[in-house]
Amino acid sequence: MTDYWADGLGAPADAQGKWERIAWEIGEMVAGPNSNDVDRNARFPHEAVAALKESGLLSALLPVTHGGDDATMGEISGAIRALAFHCASSALVLAMHSLETFSLKRHGLTPGLQALAKEVAAENLLIANANSEVGIGGDISRSICALQNETNPMTIEKQALAVSYGEYADLVVTIARRSPEASESDQIMFFCRPPQLQMEPTSVWDSIGLRGTCSRGFRITAEVSPDLIYPMPLATMINDGGGQSRQLLLNSVWVGLAEAAAARAHAFVREAGRRSIGTTPATALRLAELAVELQEGRSLLVSTAQRFYELDKMGDVQNAGFLMAMRSLKVSTSTLAVRTATEALSICGIAGYRRDSPFSLDRILRDSHGGVIMGSNERNLQDNAQMLLARKQI
């Protein structure tokens, strides 16, 4: 698939693309049935990740020559949305891993990183990231941690704020200042891997939602191999597709969560309709309103993915208007998920409020709030506010 986008405009269950269908089936058969247990016990979704590995989805973005499938961002965005319908934690694992395979494909130009990309595909390695840092928070344009580049081997020590599925990953990508003398924004990105990597947990992950991501804090110490360092500055990687792909992949989770909430409300209203044949349940109108918002979210996600694809062909992903649109997508989809879950709750009433009902919105409602803070909406809006002051067009 390159220029087929209709899949993203309808329900994920109806999508026909290869990766969307595979993700939907994994969601239906594996991730969904385990999602409440994953949530209740704040445990890693082992079953879903094993199925993702077996299906080839973890390496789908990588080039065919490296053992991948050359899947497009639109396809993987659709797969993440489909999986998030069933289990947002599993979908986030796929999204976070995929943004690292995207970077490997696009920026992993050295022989060492190309060999690593092949190994990721051949061995189905799972990649986590330890970018945010205690003392800095979510602003990844700055680092306290520095690569000790004058020792042999080179080393790092980092207080990572949150590393999703850090304990279960085969590789951890992180960012640091280039050297102890480098400024806080002179950063590079590199892979760390056991046995040269040690991760000592510094917090537990007992969160409101997205509990299956197991995003504990860690004290990270590692010896860093020069072969596993990206050959360009972090800022170049972020501007040249890294930041854009991150937004697209993570935001697919929030749209999938909105789909899940809407589907529960839909099922509830249909059941009410079956009980009173010949009349339209009062909640049907609320559902129709909710469908309007859901369609806006779907369309926004697809049109942004499409714009990414077109701009990339023209070598213009750094287009300022597009960067602004990406941040707007983040704010829009994350708040859509919260709003849809809340509205679905008011449609389902007590059946949605109960945890033991097929219409329960418990997990979806809690998970949806994660989107608002996973990359601060305030930060996104402030960045756009500054840009708007300089731009002639909105």
Ligand X SMILES: Cc1cc2nc3c(=O)[nH]c(=O)nc-3n(C[C@H](O)[C@H](O)[C@H](O)COP(=O)(O)OP(=O)(O)OC[C@H]3O[C@@H](n4cnc5c(N)ncnc54)[C@H](O)[C@@H]3O)c2cc1C
Per-residue HEC secondary structure of the chain comes to: CCCCCHHHHCCHHHCCCHHHHHHHHHHHHHHHHHHHHHHHCCCCCHHHHHHHHHHCHHHCCCCHHHCCCCCCHHHHHHHHHHHHHHCHHHHHHHHHHHHHHHHHHHHCCCHHHHHHHHHHHHHCCCEEEECCECCCECCCCCCCCECECCCCCEEEEEEEEEECCHHHCCEEEEEEECCCCCCCCCEEEEEECCCCEEEEECCCCCCCCCHHHCCEEEEEEEEECHHHECCCCHHHHHHHHHHHHHHHHHHHHHHHHHHHHHHHHHHHHHHHHHHCCCCCCCHHHHHHHHHHHHHHHHHHHHHHHHHHHHHHHCCCCCCHHHHHHHHHHHHHHHHHHHHHHHHHHHHHCHHHHCCCCCCCCHHHHHHHHHHHHCCCHHHHHHHHHHHHHHCCCC
Residue 374 CB, shortest distance to ligand X, in Å, is 4
* Complex with ligand X: residue 72 or 244, whichever CB lies closer: 244
* Complex with ligand X: residue 63 or 138, whichever CB lies closer: 138
Which residue number places its CB atom closest to ligand X?
Answer: 137
Number of residues that bind ligand X (CB under 6 A): 24
Residue 71 CB, shortest distance to ligand X, in Å, is 22
Residue 132 CB, shortest distance to ligand X, in Å, is 3
- Selected from 373, 386, 388, 391, the binder of ligand X by CB under 6 A is 373
Contact flags string 88-107 toward ligand X, x per CB under 6 A: --------x-----------
HSE-CB of 340 using CA atoms within 13 angstroms: 34
Torsion 359-77-59-175 (CA) sign: negative
* Complex with ligand X: residue 285 or 373, whichever CB lies closer: 373
- Selected from 210, 257, 287, 347, the binder of ligand X by CB under 6 A is 210
Buried/exposed code over 312-339 (b: 16+ C-beta within 10 A; e: otherwise)? beeeebeeeebbbbbbbbbbbbbbbbbb
* Complex with ligand X: residue 261 or 269, whichever CB lies closer: 261
* Complex with ligand X: residue 9 or 381, whichever CB lies closer: 381
**Is 331 within 8 Å of 380 (Cβ atoms)?**
yes
131 counts as binding ligand X under rule CB under 6 A: yes
Q: Given the rule CB under 6 A, which of 61-69, 134-142, 329-337, 346-354 is the region that contacts ligand X?
A: 134-142
- Selected from 4, 16, 54, 137, the binder of ligand X by CB under 6 A is 137
Residue 325 CB, shortest distance to ligand X, in Å, is 19
Q: Given the rule CB under 6 A, which of 106-114, 129-137, 261-269, 280-288 is the region that contacts ligand X?
A: 129-137
Q: Compute the distance between CA of residue 210 and CA of residue 95 in angstroms, rounded to an integer.
A: 13
Contact flags string 169-208 toward ligand X, x per CB under 6 A: ----------------------------------------
Residue 382 CB, shortest distance to ligand X, in Å, is 4
- Selected from 378, 386, 388, 391, the binder of ligand X by CB under 6 A is 378
Residues 384, 106, 237, 226, Cα dihedral to 10°? 160
Residue type at 299? Answer: S
* Complex with ligand X: residue 178 or 366, whichever CB lies closer: 366
Torsion 57-172-84-81 (CA) sign: negative
- Selected from 26, 58, 84, 161, the binder of ligand X by CB under 6 A is 161
* Complex with ligand X: residue 117 or 128, whichever CB lies closer: 128
- Selected from 22, 79, 88, 130, the binder of ligand X by CB under 6 A is 130
Residue 282 CB, shortest distance to ligand X, in Å, is 36
Residue 330 CB, shortest distance to ligand X, in Å, is 12
- Selected from 164, 304, 332, 368, the binder of ligand X by CB under 6 A is 164
Q: Given the rule CB under 6 A, which of 3-11, 51-59, 131-139, 150-158 is the region that contacts ligand X?
A: 131-139
Residue 341 CB, shortest distance to ligand X, in Å, is 16
User: Which of positions 213-272 make contact with ligand X (CB under 6 A)?
Assistant: 213, 215
- In the complex, the residues that contact ligand X under the rule CB under 6 A are 96, 128-132, 137-139, 161-164, 210, 213, 215, 370, 373-376, 378-379, 382
